[in-house]
Amino acid sequence: MANSNLPRRIIKETQRLLSEPAPGISASPSEENMRYFNVMILGPAQSPYEGGVFKLELFLPEEYPMAAPKVRFLTKIYHPNIDKLGRICLDILKDKWSPALQIRTVLLSIQALLSAPNPDDPLSDNIAKHWKANEVEAVETAKEWTRLYASGA
Amino acid sequence: MGKERGREEQVATVRAVLGEGTPEMDIIRALHLAGDDPTRAINILLDFHHGPPPQRSPSPSPRPPAGKPTKTHTESTLPTKTPAQSKPVAENPRPSLAPTPMLKPTNGSGGEHWWLIGSVEMAGLSTCKGRRLASGDVVTFSFPNSAIVATAGKSRPGRPGLASCSSEIMRFSTPHHGEVGRIPNEWARCLLPLLKEGKVKAEGLCKSAPEVLSIMDTVLLSVSVYINSSMCRGQKQSAPKATRAATEDSTFHPLPALFKLTGLAPFKKATFTPEDLYSRKRPLETMQSSAPAIKLTTEKLRLSSGGNEDDQGEGTVSDSDLDDIIGISDSSALEERDPPDALQCDLRPYQKQALYWMMQLEKGSSCQDAATTLHPCWEAYKLEDKRELVLYLNVFSGDATTEFPSTLQLARGGILADAMGLGKTIMTIALLLADSSKGCITTQHSTQICEEASGLGELPVQPHDAVKKLAIPFSFSKFRKPKAPLIAGGNLIVCPMTLLGQWKAEIEAHTTSGAVSIYVHYGQNRPKEASLISQSDIVLTTYGVVASEFSNESSIENGGLYSIHWFRVVLDEAHTIKSSKSLISLAAVALTADRRWCLTGTPIQNNLEDIYSLFRFLRVEPWRNWALWHKLVQKPYEEGDERGLKLVQSILKPIMLRRNKNSTDKEGRPILILPPANIEVKYCDLSEAEKDFYDALFRRSKVKFDQFVEQGRVLHNYASILELLLRLRQCCDHPFLVLSRGDTQEFADLNKLAKRFLHGGNGAVNGDSSVPSRAYIEEVVQELQKGDGECPICLEAFEDAVLTPCAHRLCRECLLSSWRNATAGLCPVCRKSMSKQDLITAPTDNRFQIDVEKNWIESSKICFLLRELEVLRNSGAKSIIFSQWTAFLDLLQIPLSRQNFSFARLDGTLNLQQREKVIKEFSEDKSILVLLMSLKAGGVGINLTAASNAFVMDPWWNPAVEEQAIMRIHRIGQTKSVSIKRFIVKGTVEERMEAVQARKQRMISGALTDQEVRSARIEELKMLFS
């Protein structure tokens, strides 16, 4: 019943996400609440997260698409732009949101963020410092975390 | 072979005990586990057996009926203890058995904190062989660790819930003999969860047993059950909630079940019980039928109105339907109460009645009826304890308390549902002034406060899992973090953004200065310190702010609305929270408050379910329980069982006040005399040029439509058909609206007609208007001509497409609504900034890129309108012009400026300050005669009584929305007689829309669902193209 109020845009996006999923990304709406999505992103190749399966949750607020979706990592991840609660520092999720963006583009951006961590705009100070001070070691930690927490088991 | 036979014999032995129904595989498996010892195998099976084996088993000692002392076995029991027989057995023979520490017998005395519920006899089953038990022996109870059993439970697949069943085994043992037997399942089922949490304790004595026990013998026990007083006092605190969440969906609550087994009958029964829920046999003769519905004056408005599309694609309940559903209160007998001195205006008698009514509802405990009426879902029990305790038990939640749960303990407040225009705002202000004891929170309610404060995530009734899912990710911290004590606050008024200014203005205007302090909690930079917010007597905020503070993870640390315990929360336009799963609905429920009010003229907008959300917010018991609501109200109602409706009416009766303009006072006079409203339909004709244009457009559209019909693909092309209709409807307003659309190429044969139309104006089409980045646009135009592409915002085919200077195409409305500012913003695609003037109406062919200013010509509808406005000009009467297309409002600005009408404009692109400013200007500036207004901007709450004329330029699909917009004028405060004129162009789709509307209201709603609706829709679409 409550889902009947779902804007057509969300319905369309959902259909497309399900019918033509983006490579390495899966997003499916919860049955009870079509605004809540369970998301899985595969760690991009050649990144420290390669081989990992990362779970995220995505929620479309009432104002969507005029307001950005809320996205959070559920899987622990060692990344300078993602904090320990899984919150993501990504401009398009904040002030750079545009209604022309979609769930798909948001998730692709997050996937890209995994490929290109940006320690200069950190959300997690410690990890960012680590990254800057000793990138090799930080990447190793990220790989280790991927193995520990995101190995898909 | 011998072994084979042995196995068969063993199986037969086990079967003989457990009954024929026991599957052979299970028995064999058990035998295997038991090392081929049938006795042990029986024990294993019994432990995992869910059903009550005694019934099935040919037990040598049939269980005596509970409560009747049986002597049969006592005679054979020698009182002599013969320990020789018993081997030394450890207290806990099985590692998986955990002794319960609080179960040490204390010689029957309950102790200060243990209250005796009752003593009963129960028939335990012996699980051992050869042990001896004497009457008077003290037995202790123990139960296995569920985890261990759960794994073992896998040995019997296909038994859902086995793991949890098997954890419901409760054994009894004696200090001397160790485990002796187990108590009946039904007892274990309710005792176990309570024992585990230390809420009850049980003390047992053996009453009688066979001299030497063998398996399945009956051991008669006398058991005294005590309830811990902390369970009753502290039940409102959150401790037991955790366990309750697990059993949320099941309706099994151990405590009521225990009471039943104990044979304790309530001396006061609950009005609603879970049994009602399942049998739905609740007698309804006590329910009052609603007062006969009274037709509104606006009824005739609806009859004559056309169109029935709701933009949200949902049927909306009209006022008179609403009256049928929820009834009108007969309030004429209510007492009146004079408003407090601080109120700077006179209340009408019916408003004084409302004030009295509201104050009565708020009195709660001191309100006699409510105080002495037992809350409908609680039962009262007298415990057997010598202290003569009365215990109240909630039959739905299983909570217990010793405090009298009165009806109003939970719901203080109600729904003020007076029809629009009766002055709900001023009545509420009177209430705020009359009783605003800020910070005085009565101790009686402090327990509830705790519950509410701690109960944020525990929304006592979580209708669906979705609620949890929705609430958890974004307010996660609220569940985990220890609560800071709440700060006592004053009144919180939550309203739609558009009404924020009006509330402030009305409070200021109607109260003596300094009587109350007002603070508007709104905007990006609003302070978060609860101490600051709570200082004001009245805090005004919007639903958006409430929702965002609710979902904001850090709101607890930051303070905000959720760290305040409000004296009173008022939801204005409370139907905003109607969808129970929406964030805003959850957010509103989670506010902590002593008194709660819902103001709404439309408590039900689309669905009876809407009102559930209000009940949940108001804490109306037991209807916060979604399952109960659904079973008893929602489902019967949907199935046409009128008991559902009657039940709603009876729930509403005490907590809702609803009068409409036709309500009368004691003497039978109308409570409110509004100046008359005259609604008329103005039929206009198209000019010849317009008619040619329309006809060509219509023929064109019809060909397309007929193609769809032939192909049987009407519903697959729904969007295209709606677009065809949209174009026809817009054409009735002004052909420019169609000409300015992007796909004129498709209507190439219209070129000549269009030219002719334009020639009627001032000359040739101006094709050379300077279009920025022309070459670039050509590319886009190519795509456009192919007819594909979709708006990147709504993902639909373009509607009134515009091109940005950066050559991105979007629907005009989509683009404008993405801007914070009405005149300029960023391109949503590439973030280039631009202003509204930079936008180009998407062209296909240069000839049709019209410069409307230069080529201006009035359409017949506009001519009609101008004539009407001219008549009104000298009287100084103000008018509102409604259209559903902002593009048409744009067009209307041209003739209005040319004819020197000064006007204001209110549409969806304005933010709060701008709206307020526009409304203020229009209301106060005598020179502004006209307000151009889009439907969406004018929907809710706005008071525009400065105007006495309304012109509805185009029919809306949904008459309820139209009605609501018009009621902005025809409402309390209106002193002049009101004239409403609706323009319908004869012989066009507009006229047929009215016919279709009469046929069916829900035509052309958004999402398509079932087959019937589809075929009905096709029929209706055919009517429109006839």
Contact B829 A100 (CB under 8 A): yes
The B residues from 827 to 846 touching A (CB cutoff 8 Å) are 828-829, 831
Q: Which residues of B202-225 are buried (b: 16+ CB within 10 A; e: fewer)?
A: bbbbbbbbbbbbebbbbbbbbbbb
Contact B473 A9 (CB under 8 A): no
Distance CA B213, CA B219 (A): 9
Q: Which residues of B touch A9 (CB under 8 A)?
A: 793-796
Distance CA B331, CA B419 (A): 14
Band of residue B908 on the pLDDT scale cut at 50, 70, 90: confident
Angle (CA) B453 B455 B459, round 5°: 135
Q: What is the mean pLDDT of residues B508-518?
A: 85
Q: Which residue is it, tokens 């817009």?
A: B730
A57 → chain B, closest CA residue = B473
pLDDT digits (tens, 9 = 90+) for B311-358: 333 344 555 566 666 666 666 677 888 888 888 888 888 888 888 888
Residue A55 contacts B where some CB pair is shorter than 8 Å: no
Residue B468 contacts A where some CB pair is shorter than 8 Å: no
pLDDT at B372: 57
Q: Which residue is it, tokens 């929170």?
A: B441
Of A6, A57, A66, the CB nearest to B818: A66
Burial class (CB in 10 A: 0-12, 13-18, 19+), B128: buried
A105 is catalytic: no
Angle (CA) A24 A26 A31, round 5°: 175
Confirm if B167 and B235 have CB atoms less than 8 A apart.
no
Q: What CATH number matches the domain at A2-149, 3.40.50.300, 3.30.465.10, 1.20.1560.10, 3.10.110.10?
A: 3.10.110.10
More confident of the two residues B932 and B167: B932
Is the bond preceding B58 in cis, omega lying within 30 degrees of 0? no
What single-letter DSSP state applies at residue B848?
Answer: G
CA distance A35 to chain B (A): 9
- H/E element, B896: helix B886-898
- Identify which of B969, B961, B952, B968 has the alpha carbon closest to the alpha carbon of residue B883: B952
> B481: how many CB neighbours lie within 10 A of its CB?
11
Judged by DSSP in three states, B491 sits in: strand
Contact A62 B584 (CB under 8 A): yes
CA distance A118 to chain B (A): 22
Which residues lie below 8 Å from residue B408, measured CB to CB, with a gap of 6+? B361, B363, B364, B365, B367, B370, B371
pLDDT digits (tens, 9 = 90+) for A111-138: 999 999 888 888 878 888 899 899 999 9
Contact A98 B828 (CB under 8 A): yes
Dmax over CA atoms of chain B, in Å, equals: 124
Q: What is the mean pLDDT of residues B728-745?
A: 71
Asked whether the predicted pLDDT for residue B881 surpasses 90, the reply is: yes
pLDDT digits (tens, 9 = 90+) for B684-728: 888 888 888 898 889 888 888 888 888 887 777 777 787 788 888
Report yes or no on whether pTM surpasses 0.90: no
Band of residue B951 on the pLDDT scale cut at 50, 70, 90: very high
Strands (E), B445-584: 487-488, 491-495, 518-521, 538-542, 564-571
Residue B818 contacts A where some CB pair is shorter than 8 Å: yes
Contact A62 B466 (CB under 8 A): no
Q: Which range is least confidently modeled, A15-29, B309-323, B698-712, B967-981? A: B309-323
CA distance B466 to chain A (A): 5
Contact A13 B826 (CB under 8 A): no
Residue A35 contacts B where some CB pair is shorter than 8 Å: yes
Distance CA B726, CA B957 (A): 11
Which residues lie below 8 Å from residue B12, measured CB to CB, with a gap of 6+? none
pLDDT at B322: 61
Q: What CATH number matches the domain at B329-375+410-657, 1.10.1740.10, 3.40.50.10810, 3.40.50.1440, 3.30.390.50?
A: 3.40.50.10810
Share of residues in chain B with pLDDT > 70 (%)? 61
Distance CA B471, CA B550 (A): 9
Asked whether the predicted pLDDT for residue B234 surpasses 70, the reply is: no
Residue A11 contacts B where some CB pair is shorter than 8 Å: yes
Distance CA B22, CA B658 (A): 62
Q: Which range is least confidently modeled, A120-134, B519-533, B994-1008? A: B994-1008
More confident of the two residues B48 and B168: B168
User: Token pair of B532, please?
Assistant: 């600051």
Is the bond preceding B622 in cis, omega lying within 30 degrees of 0? yes
Q: How far apart are the first and last CA of chain B?
A: 88
Domain limits, CATH 3.40.50.10810, in chain B: 329-375+410-657
Highest mean pLDDT among B241-255, B287-301, B972-986: B972-986
Q: What is the mean pLDDT of residues B947-976?
A: 77
Distance CA B316, CA B321 (A): 10
Contact B474 A32 (CB under 8 A): no
More confident of the two residues A39 and B769: A39
pLDDT at B742: 43
- Kindly report the three-state secondary structure assignment for every residue of B575-609: HHHCCCCCHHHHHHHCCCEEEEEEECCCCCCCCCH
Domain boundary assignment for chain A: 2-149
pLDDT digits (tens, 9 = 90+) for B433-491: 887 765 444 433 433 433 433 333 333 433 344 333 333 333 333 333 445 577 888 89
Which residues lie below 8 Å from residue B882, measured CB to CB, with a gap of 6+? B933, B934, B935, B938, B950, B951, B952, B953, B962, B965
Contact A2 B817 (CB under 8 A): no
- Identify which of B771, B804, B907 has the alpha carbon closest to the alpha carbon of residue A100: B804
pLDDT at A70: 94
pLDDT at B324: 64
pLDDT at A112: 92
User: Token pair of B873, please?
Assistant: 């000009």
Distance CA A12, CA B627 (A): 31
User: Token pair of B427, please?
Assistant: 């009545």
Q: Which residue is it, tokens 């899984």?
A: A86
Angle (CA) B415 B416 B420, round 5°: 135
pLDDT digits (tens, 9 = 90+) for B530-584: 788 888 889 999 998 888 888 765 545 556 888 888 889 999 988 888 888 888 8
User: Token pair of B98, please?
Assistant: 């955990």
Judged by DSSP in three states, B141 sits in: strand
Angle (CA) B236 B550 A127, round 5°: 110
Which residues lie below 8 Å from residue A43, measured CB to CB, with a gap of 6+? A49, A50, A51, A52, A53, A54, A114, A146, A150
pLDDT digits (tens, 9 = 90+) for B845-860: 333 345 566 677 888 8
What residue spans of B619-760 are helical by DSSP H?
626-629, 635-638, 642-655, 688-711, 718-733, 735-739, 751-759
- H/E element, B15: helix B2-18
Q: Which residues of A touch B796 (CB under 8 A)?
A: 8-9, 12
Residue A2 contacts B where some CB pair is shorter than 8 Å: yes
> B939: how many CB neighbours lie within 10 A of its CB?
16
Q: What CATH number matches the domain at B297-316+662-687+859-1026, 3.40.50.300, 3.40.50.720, 3.60.21.10, 3.40.640.10?
A: 3.40.50.300
Taking CB atoms and an 8 Å cut-off, how many pairs form between chains A and B? 77
Asked whether the predicted pLDDT for residue B117 surpasses 60, the reply is: yes
pLDDT at B724: 83
Q: What does the mean pLDDT of chain A come to? A: 88
A35 → chain B, closest CA residue = B470
Q: What is the mean pLDDT of residues B490-494?
A: 91
Q: Which residues of A touch B1007 (CB under 8 A)?
A: 4, 6, 8, 11
More confident of the two residues B40 and B516: B516
Q: Which residues of B touch A5 (CB under 8 A)?
A: 312, 314, 579
Alpha-carbon separation of residue B822 from B791, B884, B920, B921, B930 (angstroms): 20, 17, 18, 17, 19
pLDDT at B766: 38
Pairing of strands B400-401, B518-521: unpaired
Contact B470 A99 (CB under 8 A): no
> B109: how many CB neighbours lie within 10 A of its CB?
12
Confirm if B590 and B459 have CB atoms less than 8 A apart.
yes
pLDDT at B579: 83
- Kindly report the three-state secondary structure assignment for every residue of B204-230: EEEEECCCCCCCCCEEEEEEEEEEEHH
- Identify which of B466, B354, B467 has the alpha carbon closest to the alpha carbon of residue B414: B354
Q: What is the mean pLDDT of residues A78-87?
A: 91
- H/E element, B382: strand B378-382
A69 → chain B, closest CA residue = B474
Asked whether the predicted pLDDT for residue B148 surpasses 80, the reply is: no
Band of residue A75 on the pLDDT scale cut at 50, 70, 90: very high
Burial class (CB in 10 A: 0-12, 13-18, 19+), B524: exposed
Q: Which range is least confidently modeled, B310-324, B422-436, B670-684? A: B310-324
Amino acid at B155: S
Which residues lie below 8 Å from residue B267, measured CB to CB, with a gap of 6+? B380, B381, B382
Report whether CATH 3.40.50 matches the domain B1-48: no
Please state at what angle helix B319-326 crosses helix B642-655, rounded to 10 degrees: 90
- Identify which of B870, B873, B812 has the alpha carbon closest to the alpha carbon of residue B840: B812
B474 → chain A, closest CA residue = A70
Q: What does the mean pLDDT of chain B come to? A: 69
- H/E element, B114: strand B114-126
pLDDT at B597: 92
pLDDT at B70: 36
User: Token pair of B356, please?
Assistant: 């009295």
pLDDT at B974: 78
Asked whether the predicted pLDDT for residue B746 surpasses 80, the reply is: no
Confirm if B435 and B361 have CB atoms less than 8 A apart.
no
Distance CA B515, CA B538 (A): 11
Distance CA B603, CA B613 (A): 10
pLDDT at B925: 86
pLDDT at B530: 78
Q: Which range is least confidently modeled, B377-381, B395-399, B440-444, B775-779? A: B440-444
pLDDT digits (tens, 9 = 90+) for B648-661: 777 788 888 888 76
Contact B465 A32 (CB under 8 A): yes
Q: Which range is least confidently modeled, A26-30, B276-280, B362-366, B629-633? A: B276-280
User: Token pair of B121, please?
Assistant: 């006899």
More confident of the two residues B713 and B5: B713
User: Token pair of B728, please?
Assistant: 């026809």
Asked whether the predicted pLDDT for residue B619 surpasses 90, the reply is: no
